[in-house]
Amino acid sequence: MAMKKEDLWQAVLAQIQLNLSPANFATWFRNTDIFLSDKGMIVVSVPSNFAKEWLEKKYEKMILKTLRDLDETIKNIEFKVVPLTPEKTPRPRAVQAHPAQLNFEEFSFDKETSLNPRYTFDNFVVGPFNELAQAAAWAVSETPGSVYNPFFIYGGVGLGKTHLLQAIGNKVMGVFPEKKIKYTTSEKFTGEIINSIKNKSIDKLKDEYKKYDLLIVDDVQFLSGKEKTQEEFFHLFNALYQDNKQIIISSDRPPKAIAALEERLKSRFEGGMIADISIPDFESRIAILKQKAQEKSMIVDDGSLEYIASAIQSNIRKLEGALNRLVAAQKINNEDLNPETTKRILKKVIHPNFQRLTFQKVIQIVSEFYSVPQKEIFLESRKKEIVKPRQLIMYFLRKEMNFSFPSIGKKLGGKDHTTVIYSFEKVCKDLEKNEGLAEEINSIREKLYSE
Ligand code: ADP
Ligand code: MG
């Protein structure tokens, strides 16, 4: 079945978005389209020569393969520069015309601040895995420059760092319109430093940065080894800090784990508030999927949501990508979604190394974490060293795998379901009071979902 070229390109973008960083995706695929489709030949329009060369060199294979997966009659592609006419420039805040229309909002951002208006606190789902970071971010946005300065967020890829950073920026922009705000990435900052050194305009650049009331620098792990940039950043940091300007930083790891980063910068980063975002639990993953489906005006059945949430655990961007894939498929084939169609559609996205969490893995990881022999978990022992891991195992089986209480009891050597309920509730209650336990649970969860 031949599909409309607009739909085809939307489907291609939905797929490619999964494989690239948001920055690369936005840089190279913004304002691209299918210009012409004729007898197995696709001509892709691109806005500049620069983009054309880059796409040909780096992404031609990927694009062709993605196109072929969707339509096997396609044989080859070409790129053609089609300069933008003013009307073609996407309008950032445009309302979605069609409920199933894909909207690649990574393409739109505010010129002055570089903030993308889609990232807000309102659409940021809070769960045990990120609530500390969210609460601190909220506090920073209420009184920038005074409570937590600098504010440092770290966590793995696709877990919401950029979203949270930008939510702070967007909120401050709304509440304090007079404040000057800048969002940048450490890579972009490095580029600016290098250029300004070349052009002998470094003082101008520094003066510009010193004017900001709120400076957000995303992904500072990339400053690793960039000595000159680190030095300039250190001075800029001090200047802003002394003026009570708010500095917000993110990284994929805590400051002390960033290699080749000057000690004095590390200690500056550690001087304020540090919060981490860990891997979302099953319930939070469902909540995020529901939120995203709603944003896209999609109706997805619970079975499909549960399938996605159990198959994708450690990257929220991928959860969202799976939904984008479903919208595209729904639109192209006009299919109703149910767990079977969902599984089939997402096979390519999810299949290769998807390993469902298993009962055995939960037992193994938790016993290892507390250094207790696995077999003791199944016995009657009331020793404290055993009781806690056993209770946590029950907790994880329920929380992450949705096991019923009676089946947990049965699997753990024939325990009564009331014992299981008691243990589960106890862990939930303890979690609220005990931050140490929350941290332990987060690290165990990370191990559960690593290969
Ligand atoms: P990171 O910067 O940590 O790699 P991002 O902030 O880019 O991750 O998040 C990846 C995607 O997941 C974004 O589209 C973001 O909106 C979404 N996302 C992450 N965390 C949440 C959350 N708690 N609630 C809703 N969406 C989220
Ligand atoms: Mg990011």
Cα–Cα distance between 447 and 451 in angstroms, integer?
Answer: 8
Would you say the CB of residue 337 lies under 6 angstroms from ligand 1?
no
215 DSSP β-pair partners: 182, 247
Q: Which residues contact 440 (CB under 8 A, 6 or more apart)?
A: 369
Please tell me the distance between residue 243's alpha carbon and the centre of ligand 1 in angstroms: 31
Q: Give the number of the atom of ligand 1 that is nearest the alpha carbon of residue 163.
A: 6
What pLDDT, on the 0 to 100 scale, is given for residue 106?
Answer: 59
What pLDDT, on the 0 to 100 scale, is given for residue 204?
Answer: 95
What pLDDT, on the 0 to 100 scale, is given for residue 206?
Answer: 94
Sign of CA dihedral 441, 443, 445, 447: negative
Instruction: Tell me, rounded to whole angstroms, the distance of Cα 431 from its chain centroid.
Output: 25
Q: Give the number of the atom of ligand 1 that is nearest the alpha carbon of residue 126.
A: 23
What pLDDT, on the 0 to 100 scale, is given for residue 330?
Answer: 79
User: What distances in angstroms separate CA 104 from CA 36, 38, 43, 108, 296, one per listed residue?
Assistant: 21, 26, 21, 8, 11
Report whether 359 contacts 411 (CB < 8 A). yes
What pLDDT, on the 0 to 100 scale, is given for residue 59?
Answer: 87
What pLDDT, on the 0 to 100 scale, is given for residue 17?
Answer: 82
3-state helix, strand, coil in the chain (%, to 5): 55, 10, 35
Nearest-CA residue for ligand 1 atom 1 is 158
Please tell me the distance between residue 75's alpha carbon and the centre of ligand 1 in angstroms: 36
Please tell me the distance between residue 411's alpha carbon and the centre of ligand 1 in angstroms: 36
Q: Helix, strand, or coil here: 98?
A: coil
Sign of CA dihedral 103, 107, 111, 114: positive
Q: Helix, strand, or coil here: 222?
A: helix
Q: Which helix (H) or strand (E) holds 395?
A: helix 384-399
Pocket test for ligand 1, best of 17, 115, 126, 163 (most atoms within 8 A of CB): 163
Please tell me the distance between residue 157's alpha carbon and the centre of ligand 1 in angstroms: 9
Cα–Cα distance between 78 and 42 in angstroms, integer?
Answer: 6
Would you say the CB of residue 288 lies under 6 angstroms from ligand 1?
yes
Pocket test for ligand 1, best of 185, 316, 318 (most atoms within 8 A of CB): 316
251 DSSP β-pair partners: 154
Would you give the DSSP letter of residue 117? T
Report whether 326 contacts 300 (CB < 8 A). yes
What pLDDT, on the 0 to 100 scale, is given for residue 226?
Answer: 93
Would you say the CB of residue 285 lies under 6 angstroms from ligand 1?
no
Taking the CA atoms of residue 334, residue 337, residue 338 and residue 340 in that order, the dihedral angle to the nearest 10 degrees is 60
Cα–Cα distance between 368 and 348 in angstroms, integer?
Answer: 33
Q: Can you list the residues of the chain whose pLDDT is less than 50?
A: 1, 87-102
Nearest to 398 by CA among 368, 437, 371, 359: 359
Please tell me the distance between residue 102's alpha carbon and the centre of ligand 1 in angstroms: 17
Would you say the CB of residue 120 lies under 6 angstroms from ligand 1?
no
- Residue type (1 letter), 407: S
Cα–Cα distance between 370 and 388 in angstroms, integer?
Answer: 9
What pLDDT, on the 0 to 100 scale, is given for residue 104?
Answer: 57
- Residue type (1 letter), 344: R
Would you say the CB of residue 158 lies under 6 angstroms from ligand 1?
yes
218 DSSP β-pair partners: 185
Would you say the CB of residue 317 lies under 6 angstroms from ligand 1?
yes
Please tell me the distance between residue 100's alpha carbon and the centre of ligand 1 in angstroms: 21
Report whether 100 contacts 113 (CB < 8 A). no
pTM score of the predicted model: 0.69
Nearest to 34 by CA among 329, 66, 58, 335: 66
> Over the stretch 229-287, which tens digit does the pLDDT of each residue have?
999 999 999 999 999 999 999 999 999 888 889 999 999 999 998 999 999 999 999 99
Q: Give the number of the atom of ligand 1 that is nearest the alpha carbon of residue 130.
A: 23
Strands 33-38 and 41-46: antiparallel
Nearest-CA residue for ligand 1 atom 9 is 160
Would you say the CB of residue 157 lies under 6 angstroms from ligand 1?
yes
Q: What region, left, alpha or beta, does residue 33 occupy, with left being phi > 0 and alpha being psi -120 to 50 degrees? A: beta
Nearest to 362 by CA among 444, 275, 279, 254: 444
Please tell me the distance between residue 329's alpha carbon and the centre of ligand 1 in angstroms: 23
Cα–Cα distance between 192 and 188 in angstroms, integer?
Answer: 6
